[in-house]
Copies of this chain bind each other. A is one copy, B any other.
Amino acid sequence: MAFSAIIPSHKTSSVIKISTEDPVKFTPFSQIKVVPGKIQASQIANSSLPRAFVSKDWMSNSDPLPAFNLDEYMVDKGQRVNKALIKAVPLKHPMQIHEAMRYSLLAGGKRVRPILCIAACELVGGEETLAMPVACAVEMIHTMSLIHDDLPCMDNDNLRRGKPTNHKVFGEETAILAGDALLSLAFEHVASKTTKNISPDRVVRAIAELGSAVGSEGLVGGQIVDLASEGKEISLNELEYIHLHKTAKLLEASVVCGAIIGGGNDGDVVRVRNYARSIGLLFQVVDDILDVTKSSEELGKTAGKDLVSNKATYPKLIGLDKAKKFAGELMTQAVEELAHFDPARAAPLFHLAKFICDRDN
């Protein structure tokens, strides 16, 4: 399941209980200790001592924050991202390639990555407009990965977001080229469209970050290990490698680039990087848990299909209880990383993490 489809509603899940009674109140972030480093599932799997689980306790005594509506926030930001994307890829000669690029780039989706990028920029005090070029770039990269992953020689998918996949409409050769063009445009767009008010040193750092997110140690690395692991028994470390590279890496680049362009310091960048790694894995763990705990009706897709396909999942490799515990730890870690920042500015990233954790499908 693509990460891009995670924000359909705000129902409270029974899978991992971390909600407060009032979802718009939480502990002032300054009271939460920042724990550097990344939680690994293997720590959970090998630990006989239960680690502190996310509970109401550390969210008690909370000061009220301004009301925050994630749905409204996502729709509002998403609309401005869409406008910027339409402008970034105008329909011009040669028409066929621009039509193919736009077909997939403008096919909807929640724009999670660009919104994370903008939210991270605003988290460190930058304005939305500063981050918009790099926000568009991460969406271009994400779209490229979807177009190429859908190809017959890869996942061989005919549908994406309810529409025929790019190669089904434009042919394989155009689909491959549209992906290539989107990938190169991503870098060109950041380099040529980021406002000159940003130090070019920060632009260069953002481009290096973006590149590392895509390449052989990023999306591509995750996809190649995933393809190689099909039908094989894989270890927990291999599973985590795949998720960290296929899913978390681009989320990480999104917030890191947002923080860099927004003027964040090295500490800010480390914190948003850890936040993104946590929510990237969290998404996958929750996905795996939902597959074995929910009905097909509740999920809106076939439940238990991971079991049927003998796919490596967290519940399969470490058991359902430890998978739930791991999800809780990841949520704690994600929120703790935000504790350093101004609570109002951190609210979007907090609520995004919370939604990923709480979702029902």
Contacts and interface: CB of A to CB of B under 8 A. Distances in A.
A210 interface: yes
A43 to B, nearest CB: 21
A211 B228 contact: no
Copies in the complex: 2
A324 interface: no
A138 interface: no
Given A173-B153, A181-B216, A221 B97 contact: yes
A127 interface: no
A266 interface: no
Interface stretch (A199-207, A280-288, A351-359): A199-207
A98 B225 CA distance: 12
A212 B188 contact: yes
A177 B94 contact: no
Nearest to A173: B153
B211 A177 contact: no
Contact of A96 (B174, B176, B215, B228): B228
Contact of A98 (B179, B203, B208, B216): B216
A171 interface: yes
A94 B216 CA distance: 7
Interface in A225-243: 225, 227-228
Contacts of A148: 176-177, 180
Nearest to A185: B215
Contacts of A188: 207-208, 210-212, 215
Nearest to A194: B204
A214 B205 CA distance: 21
Contact of A176 (B176, B186, B205, B210): B176
A224 B171 contact: no
A220 B179 CA distance: 10
A6 B187 CA distance: 30
Contacts of A220: 97, 177, 180-181, 184
Nearest to A198: B204
Interface residues of A, number: 52
Contacts of A172: 153
B191 A204 contact: yes
B180 A207 contact: no
B224 A211 contact: no
A192 B144 CA distance: 23
A248 interface: no
Contacts of A189: 211
A176 B191 contact: no
B171 A191 contact: no
A154 interface: yes
A70 to B, nearest CB: 31
A41 to B, nearest CB: 19
8 contacts: A96-B224, A97-B224, A180-B219, A184-B187, A184-B211, A185-B215, A186-B211, A200-B204
Interface of A: 94, 96-98, 101, 144, 148, 151, 153-154, 171-174, 176-177, 179-181, 183-192, 199-201, 203-205, 207-208, 210-212, 214-216, 218-221, 223-225, 227-228
Given A144-B180, A181-B220, A187-B211, 9 more contacts: A97-B216, A153-B173, A177-B220, A180-B220, A181-B221, A184-B211, A184-B214, A188-B210, A188-B211
